[in-house]
Each structure stands twice: as C-alpha cells, then as structure tokens.
Structure 1
Amino acid sequence: MIKRKDDVTKLFSMYESDFALCEETIRNHSKSFYKAFSKLPKQKALSIFAIYSFCREADDSIDVYRDVDRLNKLKRELDDFLAGKIPDRYFWRALVPVFETYEMNQQSFYDMLLGQEMDWAFQQPETQTELEEYSYYVAGSVGLMLLPILSDRPDEIRSQAIQLGEAMQITNILRDIGEDYNNQRIYLPKEIMERFDVSLDSLEKGTINDSFIELWEYEATRAEQLYSKAQTMLASIHKDCQEALLLSIYFYKGILNSVRQSNYQCFNKRNFVKKSQQLELYQKAKNYLKTL
C-alpha cells in the first residue's frame, strides 16, 4: 500500500491516458454519476472512473454483446490482475494505482461478475427477497468497491453502501420496465405482481392503471427507504466526498420523481432528472451537509 502523497500522485500520473479513457467511459454512459463524482478530488474521482469502467465492461458483456465468453474472459483477467499480472486493457491499467493506494474489497469485484452471470441465465425473481439479492450482486457490490475510496471506516458502513446500490438498482428497474420487457426481462417479483394484480399481458400492452401505479409505488417506496438508510453513512464519509455521494443519492432519487411527473410512463419513455432540477438538488445537498 502506497501512502505518501507524492508517491501516490506520481503513480496516478503514470496512467494518465488510461484514466482519460475511463473518464470518457463514465461521461458517455452515466451522466448522473459523472456529474456527481467528477466533483471529487482528482485522484478519488479517477479511481471511481476506473471502477466504473470495469463494471461497464461486465455489464456490457451481457446486456450489449450478449456474450458470456466475454464475461468469463473478464473473470480470468480479474484473477490475473489480483495475482499481479496486469491484463492489457485500459481499465485494468488504471486500476493498478487504485489497488496500490486503497485497501480494496476484492470479493465485491467477483460478486459483480456473478450478478452479470445471473442476468445471462435470467429468471424473473419470485420474491422481493430474490430481487434484492440480485440487486446486491449487480449494484450493492459496487457500493463496496467504492467505500475504501470514500471512507477510512468502510467496515462500519458496509450495510449502508450495499443499501445504496440496491436502491439504485431498484430505481433503474422502475425507470426501465418497458425497455427490460422488450429485452425479455421482467425484474418485478412475481409475488408483488400477483399482490397488486398486474399481469404479464398488461406489461406487454404498457398498461398504466391503478394496479400498476400501486405496484410501482410499492417498489419506489422500498427504494426510498433504502436511500434513507444509506444516507446515514455520510458522517463516516470523507468530508471531501460527502457532497458527491449525497448528489448521487439525490440524482437517483430524482429519477423516481421524474417517472411520477410523467404519470408513470416508463414503457416508452426514459425518464431523467432535468438540469433545472439538478440545480435544486445541488442546493439541497449543500444545505443538508451544513447540518452534519
């Protein structure tokens, strides 16, 4: 582990071109995360960009390329990377100074890959518990990846980091119901659909009625509960990271409100937080942080 500031700065500068590609990746694929985390001190921001690029490759292996061999290759590369043999790809090279500087949670990287394997052999979750287990592997694991960069006490706030990832994943699911259905994936648990009398036929037709709204709000309320629990970790986050993390929470919670404002149209419209709303959330975050 490298601790001296000058040594860390020098190490990060050695991989400047690789970090530039990581930054381009997150800027192109997740404007909300980029806007939030680009406000971090440079080395912390670059570290998160590198982790995002690894996660992007894992996710794209299944969702874009539909290639489990590509995912398996990534897993072999992770084995090599952790053994000290650096694969020749930009995000692996960028992750070198990240792992040298921070005490990274190695298992969380494998858990992310397992989550993508679950998507490859996708089955609609039977229960809410199954949905949240899946959400851990594809998103809660990312929270654990980021914690060593954001806090000196990651073990104390492990559960909150997982809850944040799970909340974000449920938000993604609620935003993308129509898109996921077209890709032959229904992430809404069978037991919850039955409880609110929402059928597969109604999803196919994109029906937005009282039953659908009640189901949607049930899941949205669960996500908002998880966001609230996750927000309690802010006091254990580095001061220079608190605003970025809080913004990421507010931006993602804002997606839920955007869906509500569009009258729950999540079948043929991709909802997002508008710039005017982002400015309001920036001020809300600053006001909240004054209370810590």
Structure 2
Amino acid sequence: MTTPNDRLMRGGLPTASFLTVGTKVSGYVLRDMEEMAQREYDTRKEMHFDNGDPITMFLIVLATSERRDDIPNDLGMRALYLDSRNKKRAVRDAVRRAGGTGVGVGGHLTLIYVGDEQPARPGGIGAKIYTAEYVLPEATAANVSLLNEPDPSLQAVPLTAAPAGQPPVLYPPAAAPADYPAAYNPAIPSLGQGAPGYPAPGSPYPAAGYPAPGMPGSPYPAPAIQPAPTAPTAPVAVPNEGAAAPAAGALPPAPPHLAMLNPEQLAALGYGPAAS
C-alpha cells in the first residue's frame, strides 16, 4: 500500500530514460514497487482501456552507479517506470527466470533497450524492445556477505604482552634457525628499544623499529646466503645463422601452413618451396 511518505519521497527523482538503442539502467531496488495510473503526456488525464479499466504502470526506484553532472547532488537514484507492455514483459520474464514471484527490495534489476519492433503501419514508429536481468534479494544479500566476510589471513597479529614499562611486541620472538650464528639470542633486547624479543631472521614482518640482522644498529650479523645453484645452459643453435641460405632444391618442401611465405623466408626456416 502506498503511503504519504512514498508519494512524498518519489517526487523529484531523475527518471531512467531510454532514448537510444543500447541504453541500460541497472541497480538495486530501494523500496516496494508501486502501481499507479498512467496519464496522458499533455493533459495529465488518466488513461483507460476501451472497456473503461484504468491503464496502469509500475514504478521501481533503483540505486544505480550512474552520476550525471547536470543533476545537482546526484546520488544515483533513478525512477524506472514500467509504462509499456514490452518493459513489463521483459521484467516479468527476468523475475521468473530468477525463480522469483515479484520485484523485491534488495533485488538487482537491469533493463536494456535492445531494438524496435516493425511499425504497425508505414511511416509509424515501432515499439521499443527491452531485455532484463534480475537477481533475487537473497542472492544479492549473499553476495554482499561474501564480499564483506573478513579474511582471517589478513587479520593483524594481536599484540603480545610486554613487561611493565616496555613497549608491546607486535610479533612474538621466534627461535633462531639452526644455521643462524650462535650470537643470536631472542631474549636480548634490541638496541634502543629495551623490549625483549627480536624478529626472527628472514621474517617478512619485522617488528616496527627493530633493525634487521646485518643492518646498522643491530648486534647480530646477517646470515650468510648461498646463491642458488644454476644449471648450465646449452647454446641454442639457430639454423643457418651466419651462413648463406642453402639452395632451394636441397631443402625439404615447406609444410602447407607455411605456403604463404616467400622463398627467402622459407629458406631461413630450412624449407624449400611448398610442394604443388
């Protein structure tokens, strides 16, 4: 049921218009769809069928990503009027394909103007043709939850407790690796800090303010890093490099997929002309 607030707040919304083929409006449904009388453009009189029944249209308010410079303080809200049989059919079919029973708040609706029907009479204008896509509110809510779900691998490591009067250590001390110099001692405070614990050698997350081993201000030498062994590479033989191309008659015929190359190019690849 339409409330006074609904009638108040729908006023002044930019209308989604479809002036050229390919125009698209897409967004999330902000409130319940409304049904209202369709009116003549000039007189604003309500329109009726021949049997006297009112001709109605539907209003869907969408939150879109569109922003127009000619609209002051444009927030992307658009009033989408389903005021033609083709618009109604496109949206109705999209909702049914999605397994829904109607356009619901939180659903995502896309409507695209894709072409025109043949005019009913010469010189006339054919009705616009539309296609639509709809995503149920439950599916859009699930997508939002998925995208906003925190990734445990990205969470900060909690601060470890530090003795009174000393700054906290973001990364707890770790045991020295077996090949690290014996001078390393995690219990020795780092210079200028006075907090126990030193970042593990090679740690990608050194504690802020702690000089890494081998850096100025660090009491520990940098561990020796042995270069990784590399396998010898054999020289690459380039056919005919530095030598004149052999006579065409002494080369095997080029395969069919190289038939478009000229004789010089074929000779450089070690082929003669393709067999006819």
TM-score range, shorter chain: under 0.3
Q: TM-score, normalised by structure 1?
A: 0.18
Structure whose CA Rg is larger: 2
Structure having greater relative contact order (Cα 8 Å, sep ≥ 6): 1
Q: TM-score, normalised by structure 2?
A: 0.19
Structure with greater strand percent: 2
Structure with greater helix percent: 1
